[in-house]
Every structure is written in structure tokens, then in C-alpha cells.
Amino acid sequence: METKTVVKVGSRKSQLALIQTNSIINHLKKLNPNLTFEVISMQTTGDKVLDAALSKIGEKNLFTRELEIALEKKEVDFVVHSLKDLPTALPEGLLIGCIYKRDSPYDAVVMHPSNAGKKLEELPEGSVIGTSSLRRAAQLSRKFPHFKFENIRGNLNTRFRKLDEDNKYSAIILAEAGLHRMGWPDRISQVLDKDTCMYAVSQGAMAVECRNNDPFTLGLLSQIHDPETVIQCVAERAFLKKLEGGCSVPVSAFCEIKNGKLSLTGGVFSIDGTRGRIETVSENLPDSYEEKEKPVISPNGPREFAGIVGNEKVSVATLEIAQKVGLGLAQLLLNSEAKDILANAKAETAAAIIAEKQRKEAEKMRNGAEKVTSNGH
């Protein structure tokens, strides 16, 4: 096995991405003081396309593609992601080598300064709430049908600026984990519980992607693989994969491990939130999560579940149970009216993607025409 003294780490350039990358590097440095880590940062398509909602761009690996190409070319050894931004199917040859212990998976409300200290319940009818997540808008429309939900895009810094300066939004909804990582916990006025807004699959968890044929990096990452987080994220991602969800439809989750039992709740909603279906599936987990057998590593790399590695920390047998819970929950929903709700939501987003493309084309034509005119003068 190749040993290294310098490990190259790919990251997006946004402040949140760099904070997350450095936090994973710091955990690894403490355990491996002899290693040096070099960060190579780059822009991704998701960072460049700031004017459209994620769900309207119609691509799955918006925030990850450029980084994955760098991994494939061996320009970097691993890449740190928010797991919720990673598609449920990874490119051939790549693998989630570890998931760090999950932070809060819940969503939080950030108020416009003029509403500081208030709760959503106290905002007047017609208030504009900023979110570009279909999942948040659908669920919150059920509880707060008297609000307007409008898109807000850009990285977290941009969104804060838009909230504070545009005087358009009464509040915005963001992941609590991201707010803590950015050092803005004092802007949180309310954390949304599961009865108000279930979270996105894998929200709050950081994952590290690497090549499946790189035992040095896989060994390094296994040191910070968190078994309970991994079990939950395998169940949630298996659920989403079977529903073919992603950013394009309002699918939400709530997962817990209590008294040796794994329980996953999943929700599927119409875009406007008027229809919805929620189900729960549970299974007992083994007493020990550890792999007792020496894992068999095939030429295709170690066993994976929805892209997540099974290793000595959390066994294949344990992850098979987690996967069964996720798949079982998806099947239960697909046997109900959720199947129709999901199909309609997908059709609606597909139509929105086409409309967005046409809007962009028209804009390009207009700009082109303006150029011709100004050149002619």
C-alpha cells in the first residue's frame, strides 16, 4: 500500500465549504500528526449559477462534478461535502470513505432584523419567507398557508446580505448546522421540529469522497467514520435513491436510533403542500456495529450502500439492515397515494426546468440583440 506524507484535499471555494474542509482536516491532523494536508479549492457549477433555484437547474451533481473530476485525475485525494448535496449514485470508482458525526439535522428560521426575536407564528399574513428548497416550502405551506414562499439563492453569505438589505423577506429558512459552522448561531430565532418541517436526507452530516481503489485514504478516513451517523445516512439515502428524489421533489426524513432500534420516517409532499403522506419503518440493530470478519475488498473496491463504505467500524450486516429500512419505507410510500404525489411533483419540476431554460434563452437573445444595436451606433 502506498503511504503518503502529503494529502491533497479538494474543496469548493465558498466559506462554508472551506470551513467544513478545514474541520475534517483538523480532526485527521490530530490523529495523524505526521501528515501534511494541502487544500486545493475550485468553483463548481452550483457556485456559478446563482440566479435559478437548485430544483430548476435540473442537474444532480451541481456542487460536486468539478471536484469529482479532480479526484478521478488524482489531482486530489479526497473531497469534503455536505452529504445532502451528494447525489445518491456516485460516479464509477468513487466512494464515500467516511461520514463525520452528524451535527443538527434540523432547519432553522433567521428573521429580518426588524423581526428579531419573533417566531414564525407571530409574522403577519402575506409575509415573504425566503427558501429555494421545495421540501421546506411544501411543508411550511401546510402549517403557514398565509405566507408567501419565494426563492433565495446564493451561498450563505449572499443570502444573509439579501435578507438584511433587500427588505423583501420577513425571514429565511436555513439548515441549523450550516449556521453554526459559519459562526452565526445568534441569528437563529427558532429551530423547526419534525412536526413542522422534517429535514432533508443526510442534512447536517459531512461526508468525505475518495477513490474506491485508494486503501491509504480509505484507511485514514475510517478513523473518523461515525457508526450511528452512517447507519442513519445509509437508511435515508437508500430511501431517497429508491424514490429517485434529489433536489427536484419535496421529500423529507426524520431518523433516530433508540434502544437498539433504527426508525426512519419519510414524507412526500406536493409542491404546494396541499397533499402529503408520511410513513415510518423500524428494525432492530445488532448489539455491536463493528465488522468482526476481515472485510473482503473486491477489485471494485469495498462494499458500499448508497455510495457509503462499509468497514471495520460499521459492518456490512449492520448496513444491510439500514438499507432494508430505507428501501422498505420507500416501498411503503410507493404503495400509497405518495406514488401519485411524487409523480406529479416530478412532472411539475420538469416543466419548471424547461420554463427556466426558455427564460434563459430569451434573455440571451435579448442581450445579443442589444449588443448588435449598440455596436451599430
Task: State the Cα–Cα distance between residues 105 and 196, nearest whole angstrom.
Answer: 14
Edge-to-edge strands, sheet with 171-175: 148-150, 128-130, 171-175, 107-111, 188-191
Write down how long the chain is: 377
Task: Tell whether residue 203 is a contact of ligand DPM (CB under 6 A).
Answer: yes
21-29, 82-90, 313-321, 360-368 -> range binding ligand DPM (CB under 6 A): 82-90
- Mask 222-251, x = binds ligand DPM (CB under 6 A)? -------------------------x----
Q: Which is nearer to ligand DPM, 133 or 232 (CB)?
A: 133
Q: Which is nearer to ligand DPM, 85 or 209 (CB)?
A: 85
Residue (of 324, 327, 305) closest to 314 by Cα position: 305
Task: Tell whether residue 277 is a contact of ligand DPM (CB under 6 A).
Answer: no
Q: Which residues pair with 258 in a beta bridge?
A: 261
Task: Tell whether residue 54 is a contact of ligand DPM (CB under 6 A).
Answer: yes
> Which residue in the list 47, 51, 77, 85 is annotated as catalytic?
85
Residue (of 92, 50, 47, 83) closest to 66 by Cα position: 47
Which of 14, 44, 132, 323 forms a contact with ligand DPM (CB under 6 A)?
132
Q: Which is nearer to ligand DPM, 23 or 213 (CB)?
A: 23
Which of 10, 178, 302, 310 forms a contact with ligand DPM (CB under 6 A)?
178
164 is catalytic: no
Cβ neighbours of residue 173 under 8 Å, at least 6 residues apart? 107, 108, 109, 110, 129, 130, 131, 133, 136, 140, 192, 197
29-37, 130-138, 271-279, 318-326 -> range binding ligand DPM (CB under 6 A): 130-138
Buried b / exposed e across 54-78, counting CB within 10 Å, b at 16+? bbbbbbebbbbbbbbebbeeeebbb
Q: Determine the longest span between alpha carbons in the chain, in angstroms.
A: 79
Size of interface with ligand DPM, in residues (CB under 6 A): 17
Q: Tell me which residues are annotated as active site.
A: 85
Site residues for ligand DPM per CB under 6 A? 54, 82, 84-85, 131-133, 135-136, 174-175, 177-178, 200, 203-204, 247
